[in-house]
Amino acid sequence: MARPYWDVNILTGSKTARIIDNPVQCAGIIKKADRPLYILGPDTLDRNIGERLFLKYCLDLAKAGKLPICATGHVRKKMLELGIHPDSSYDIIEIINHLKDTEWNGVKKEGNHDLIVFSGVRCDLAERGLATLKHFAPHLKTMALCRFSHPNADFALPVIRKDRKWQDYFEILIDNL
């Protein structure tokens, strides 16, 4: 296991994330999913990757991978300003509770999701949500596209400290979807 950025994330139990260093491999995992869901948190609005808003990279990724978007927090408002309508808008706790339910039909009413991708959710909240899904939703796989790494996800990125490397990772990931 790679050491996460925040020390509080170290104790994950016996199951920990598989670190995906290669964005091409990450794209392959996303492509294999039948019904993925991309959860966007408010940190996508507060951070840039290089000169570009993190949210815009996330929206490009969603478009390239044909991922339905669940906007949390105030992300929906910004998406609407950009002319993009999210597939759903939930509070992060609310969407995690829905995802635990095997009978839930998903945001598009086509059946529950099989891969949940997180970006921009505050690290401590994302870690708790991922731990909840790890223990109470074994029917799901989770992926954290966060530069600080999340050991409670099934798939996570390594800790990426440099903006340029973070930008390159996202650009290669989008190109391969």
* pLDDT recorded at residue 116: 98
* pLDDT recorded at residue 4: 57
Does residue 7 surpass a pLDDT of 70? Answer: no
Nearest CA to 127 out of 21, 33, 41, 34 is that of 41
What is the distance, to the nearest Å, from the Cα of residue 125 to the centroid of all Cα atoms in its chain?
Answer: 13
Question: Phi and psi for 71 in degrees, rounded to 5?
Answer: -90, 125
* Average pLDDT value for the chain: 91
- Contact status, residue 129 vs residue 136, Cβ threshold 8 Å: no
* pLDDT recorded at residue 101: 95
Mean pLDDT of 20-48: 96
Domains and CATH numbers, the chain: 17-176 (3.40.50.1220)
Task: Report d(CA 85, CA 162) in Å as an integer.
Answer: 31
pLDDT tens string 49-86: 989 999 999 999 999 999 999 999 899 999 999 999 99
* pLDDT recorded at residue 168: 95
Does residue 94 surpass a pLDDT of 70? Answer: yes
